[in-house]
Amino acid sequence: MRLVRVLAGLGYGSRSEVEALLRRGRVLDAQGHALAASAEDPGGELFVDGQALDPRPPLVLLLHKPVGYVCTRAEDEGPTVYELLPPRFASRRPILATVGRLDKETSGFLLLTDDGALLHRLTSPRQHLTRHYRVELADPLRGDEAEALRSGTLMLRGEDKPLRPAQVVELGPTRLRVSVTEGRYHLVRRAFGALGHRVASLHREGMGAAGLDELPEGEWRVFDPARLR
């Protein structure tokens, strides 16, 4: 594949803009040699203006999502998680999509990928991929909440199928760690709503066997999806 096409697909500009980058000697290989506008993609490590080339597809990113950001490209709903990534990532093809969503007031572990097959696999209801949350309630626990969440009988308003049993650890009078194996809309908030509680804050700590591993809030890094197992 021509290098121009690769760089354009990574968001470095239109094909004509990328050709200009190459003609000006701004794209180098690992040995420091400038690559021509007619060059084929040599693979391996490349540099644009001294910075390592962004990862080629397929790409998976882990983002520590802050509160206040939405998992959509619709800017009229507020700041989007895509604003936390390099601006050129918005022009990557195929596009980066979030693996499920965290609502605006939920923080924590969020994956994004341009791998359609992986996205489908991770969001499929058949996967039962565990999602781990730290929950802070507005009011103290009564004492029956953990049993209800573990029971496999808790019903959400407007639905006719109970939640699968959750794993629950009480951390304090108003705090819990809850692990669920479903991806229903606003599942944790709605589950506590069914128990008469309002969730004051919600943070996703991880998915499967993977966590944030001290990744700072608002930062991202390339992620190996094998870590989920």
Residues with a catalytic annotation lie at 103
**CA atoms of 152 and 164, how far apart (whole Å):** 5
Contact 62, 215 (CB under 8 A): yes
Phi-psi region of 227 (alpha: psi -120 to 50; beta: other; left: phi over 0): alpha
Q: Which two tokens stand for residue 222?
A: 């390339």
Give, in degrees to the nearest 5, the angle at Cα 79 between 73 and 85: 70
**CA atoms of 9 and 41, how far apart (whole Å):** 12
